């Protein structure tokens, strides 16, 4: 399968590239990214044949449909990393909360967040490709809280790669920050910045397209790539769990094969939702995809009105900080798939220059045929956490936003909903503790212990051990100093 550019070709790059090339160099002409030239499709026979498949078997067969130019042994080694999840036979449990609402739990990997689902195999693949080519790569990552720990975990001590991870200082939970700043592998650099996630993501994209930065890296014989979902290597693995979750509902007897479902996804950088969109385009029986946002509800307004408006807005800190994002990168791939490269380039360059674009009525109708959206305020989220706990389900504040979209976005109440839990309760324990008891905890460890006792669950060892680990990555700088800090790390 070939990958092409979302904003068209500038005459300086190849008109199409392979999967391996796309994951090594994810940015394309005019500041765009890469998307599949076409999508594979599966029919009812494919779904029927995988009803009893394990996750790794399903993943391998979907990757084969994409015809990725990666050695089979490398794919097998990457997929074997799912054996390290809580239950190797079922790395993505799907839990029933209400009769028509099921939660796909994507957080059972080593960093307790859904980014492990893609980044664990992705890191293994990228490192293997770089080593095979005898090339060295700097992997950039910008994080709102979960990409960073997962990227650092998958790339630490791997050959031929170094990682520079940027996070907004004060914009993550304490556990997320500790997961990053306690990493001490010599090929990892963690950089706190004064700013928000959009500042970190903007810095990442600037560096990825900077000729001067590229020249500086060449002095070290290093090339540049990214671990964010601008990299399609992330997205391809995020498509798989939507298919698996649907099949799990069939296995549980909740639906019959071929029956439509709603997918309900926290917004974030839109990679999770994009994976669901691709699964739908490939043949998954999806009625509609519901996008759940927090008070940073740019995507809700876009899907409702067609206006993507960043004028006179700034990031609002919320109780679901991993979703405190205004400019969601993967909307670009939706625009490209629906409207083509020329229109995508026009809209995205307008967003860069004017912080605003508006799609026309016909385009909006195409968006709304597939997506609906709502947002969940902090107080609403706390109530949803409390309500779910009353029926025996413990969830994080990001997952709680899905419960608002579940209440408001469904037009057909007879259709089952699959909502996606993106983080374990341990990542945001003070918020959850407050929702359950009204008590505020200054220290995460105290909130963690209280919830574990109240819910009668055990705190995972990898979380409990964080509080005794020394800080190995103390750097916090202005965003203007990021390039200098990275180059100093490489030297």
Query: What is the pLDDT, as a whole number, of residue 491?
Result: 85
- Going by C-alpha positions, the residue among 337, 421, 475, 338 that lies closest to residue 102 is 421
Whether residue 323 contacts residue 317, with contact meaning beta carbons closer than 8 Å, is answered with: no
Query: CB 295: neighbour CB atoms within 10 A?
Result: 18
Query: What is the pLDDT, as a whole number, of residue 144?
Result: 85
Query: What is the pLDDT, as a whole number, of residue 394?
Result: 98
Whether residue 406 contacts residue 101, with contact meaning beta carbons closer than 8 Å, is answered with: yes
Q: What is the mean pLDDT of each run of 10 residues along the chain (491 residues)?
A: 97 96 94 96 94 97 96 97 97 98 98 96 96 95 90 96 95 92 97 92 88 93 91 96 98 98 94 97 98 97 98 93 91 98 98 97 98 98 98 97 98 97 96 96 93 95 94 96 95 85
Domains and CATH numbers, the chain: 76-113+233-467 (3.40.50.1100)
- Going by C-alpha positions, the residue among 340, 123, 338, 134 that lies closest to residue 231 is 123
DSSP string, 232-297: HHHHHHHHHHHHHHHHHHHHTTSS-TT--EEEEEE-TTSHHHHHHHHHHHHT--EEEEEEEE-S--
Query: What is the pLDDT, as a whole number, of residue 173?
Result: 87
- Whole-prediction pTM value? 0.94
CA dist., res. 296 & res. 319, Å (int)? 11
DSSP state for residue 479 in the 8-state scheme: G
Query: What is the pLDDT, as a whole number, of residue 155?
Result: 96
**CA dist 287 → 290, 422, 451 (Å):** 10, 22, 36
């Amino acid at each position: 399968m070939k990958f092409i550019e979302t904003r068209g070709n500038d005459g300086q790059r190849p008109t199409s590239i392979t999967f391996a090339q796309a994951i090594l160099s994810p940015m394309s002409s005019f500041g765009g990214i890469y998307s599949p030239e076409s999508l594979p499709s599966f029919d009812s026979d494919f779904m029927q044949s995988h009803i009893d498949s394990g996750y790794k078997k399903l993943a391998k067969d979907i990757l084969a449909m994409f015809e990725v130019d990666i050695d089979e042994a490398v794919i097998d080694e990457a997929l074997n990393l799912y054996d390290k999840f809580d239950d190797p036979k079922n790395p993505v449990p799907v839990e029933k909360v209400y009769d028509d609402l099921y939660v796909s739990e994507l957080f059972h990997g080593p960093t307790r967040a859904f980014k492990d689902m893609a980044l664990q195999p992705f890191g293994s693949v990228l490192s293997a490709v770089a080593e095979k080519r005898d090339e060295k790569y700097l992997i950039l990552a910008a994080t709102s809280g979960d990409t960073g720990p997962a990227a650092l975990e998958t790339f630490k001590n791997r050959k031929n790669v170094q990682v520079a991870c940027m996070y907004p200082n004060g914009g993550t939970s304490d556990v997320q920050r500790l997961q990053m700043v306690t990493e001490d592998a010599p090929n990892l650099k963690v950089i706190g910045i004064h700013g928000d996630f959009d500042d970190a993501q903007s810095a990442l994209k600037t560096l990825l397209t900077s000729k001067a930065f590229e020249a500086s890296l060449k002095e070290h014989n290093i090339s540049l790539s990214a671990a964010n979902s601008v990299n399609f290597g992330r997205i391809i693995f995020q498509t798989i769990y939507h298919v698996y979750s649907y099949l799990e509902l069939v296995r549980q007897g909740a639906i019959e094969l071929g029956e439509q479902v709603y997918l309900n996804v926290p917004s974030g950088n839109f990679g999770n939702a994009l994976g669901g969109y691709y699964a739908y385009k490939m043949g998954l029986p999806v009625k509609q995809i519901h996008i759940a946002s927090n008070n940073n509800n740019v995507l809700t307004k876009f899907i409702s009105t067609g206006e993507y408006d960043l004028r006179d807005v700034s990031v609002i800190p919320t109780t679901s900080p991993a979703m405190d994002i205004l400019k969601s990168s993967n909307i670009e791939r939706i625009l490209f798939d629906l409207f083509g490269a020329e229109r995508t380039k026009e809209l995205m360059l307008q967003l860069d220059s004017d912080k605003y674009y508006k799609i026309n009525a016909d385009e909006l109708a195409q968006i709304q045929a597939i997506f609906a959206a709502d947002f969940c305020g902090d107080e609403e989220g706390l109530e949803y956490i409390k309500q779910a706990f009353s029926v025996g389900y413990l969830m994080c504040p990001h997952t709680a936003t899905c419960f608002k979209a579940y209440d408001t976005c469904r037009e057909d109440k007879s259709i089952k909903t699959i909502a996606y839990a993106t983080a374990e309760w341990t990542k945001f324990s003070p918020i959850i503790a407050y929702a359950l008891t009204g008590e505020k905890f200054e220290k995460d460890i105290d909130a963690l212990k209280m919830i574990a006792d109240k819910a009668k669950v055990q705190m995972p060892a990898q979380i409990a051990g964080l509080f005794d680990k020394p800080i190995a990555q103390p750097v916090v700088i202005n965003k203007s100093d990021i390039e200098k800090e990275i180059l100093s790390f490489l030297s």
